[in-house]
């Protein structure tokens, strides 16, 4: 009996020892922190290509048309949609306008307006300071009738009249009623033409460069390069030239290279906007 009790006591003591050892082992283990929950890995954002800049564009208007059919042939031979500004009431005004329109060119009435200096070369169908709004509208009607298909008007000379708000207001009223646009040739930095067009709600733009104040090939090409530079900086630029042999020769050489420069020759309609196309262009010499 005694032996049985001793054996039982020994078993109990051994069990207590094993249990205590297990607790000490559990207490001595390092507890690893739970792994953070897995999060979805976001793919790297795709690189966004910047929008391609709009191609620069130029507008070229050839003034003083209507005097000579040969000049029109030379202008029509130019590549691209140059615009033709036709003087009114001349022998070839109507023929020039119709032929240019038939070839798909933009036709403008090159409206004679009084300059500050002499009026030699101003031509018939002129607008003069002091005319009443009715007189201006009547003359505008006659001039437009001699230049069929005209989509708009630009001024021939006009350094005096374009500074007259009342006169230019009457001109713009006539253009608005006929749904025509206005190109301010800017023969004076003080022109009210584009301002009154804006006020009247007449689509308009402004000349940036005169190509041929000098009939010199190097000068004309330098002016053309200036035109392109303005277009690249601002998006679009407007030039005015004349049907002179040197001008047409230079244009015939320069226009085909425009695509290489990322520049387009476009119609006047693409340059029409409410804010005009340039505030820094000023006149020189023979256009006054």
Contact in structure between 80 and 122 (CB atoms under 8 Å): no
> In angstroms, rounded to a whole number, what is the distance separating the alpha carbons of residues 51 and 47?
12
264, containing H or E segment: strand 263-265
Tell me, what's the pLDDT at 55? 85
Q: Are 157 and 113 in contact (CB under 8 A)?
A: yes
Rounded Cα distance, 97 and 102, in Å: 9
pLDDT tens per residue across span 92-125: 999 999 999 999 999 999 999 999 999 999 999 9
87, 77 contact by CB (below 8 A): no
DSSP 127: B
| Positions in the chain short of pLDDT 50 | 1-2, 5-11, 13-37, 39-52, 275-285
CA R_g for the chain: 40
DSSP state of 61: E
Q: Is 120 exposed, middle or buried (0-12, 13-18, 19+ CB in 10 A)?
A: exposed
pLDDT score for 5: 45
Fold of 56-287: TIM Barrel (3.20.20)
């Amino acid at each position: 009996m005694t032996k049985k009790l001793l054996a039982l006591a020994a078993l109990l003591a051994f069990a207590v020892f094993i249990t205590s050892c297990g607790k000490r082992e559990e207490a001595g283990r390092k507890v690893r922190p739970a792994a953070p929950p897995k999060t979805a890995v976001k793919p790297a954002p795709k690189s966004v290509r910047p929008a391609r800049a709009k191609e620069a564009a130029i507008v070229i208007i050839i003034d003083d048309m209507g005097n000579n059919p040969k000049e029109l042939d030379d202008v029509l031979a130019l590549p691209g949609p140059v615009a033709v500004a036709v003087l009114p009431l001349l022998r070839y005004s109507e023929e020039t306008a119709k032929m240019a329109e038939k070839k798909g060119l933009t036709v403008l009435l090159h409206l004679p307006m009084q300059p500050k200096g002499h009026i030699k070369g101003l031509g018939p169908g002129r607008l003069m300071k002091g005319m009443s709004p009715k007189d201006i509208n009547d003359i505008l009607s006659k001039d437009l009738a001699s230049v069929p298909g005209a989509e708009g008007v630009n001024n021939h000379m006009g350094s005096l009249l374009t500074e007259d708000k009342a006169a230019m207001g009457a001109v713009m009223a006539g253009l608005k009623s006929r749904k025509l646009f206005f190109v301010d040739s800017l023969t004076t930095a003080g022109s009210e033409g584009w301002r009154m067009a804006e006020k009247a709600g007449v689509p308009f733009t402004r000349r940036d460069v005169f190509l041929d104040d000098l009939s010199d090939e190097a000068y004309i090409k330098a002016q053309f390069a200036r035109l392109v530079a303005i277009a690249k900086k601002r998006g679009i630029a407007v030039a005015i030239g004349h049907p002179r042999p040197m001008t047409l020769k230079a244009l015939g050489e320069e226009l085909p290279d425009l695509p290489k420069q990322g520049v387009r020759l476009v119609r006047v309609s693409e340059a029409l906007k409410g804010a005009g196309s340039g505030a820094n262009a000023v006149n020189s010499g023979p256009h006054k």
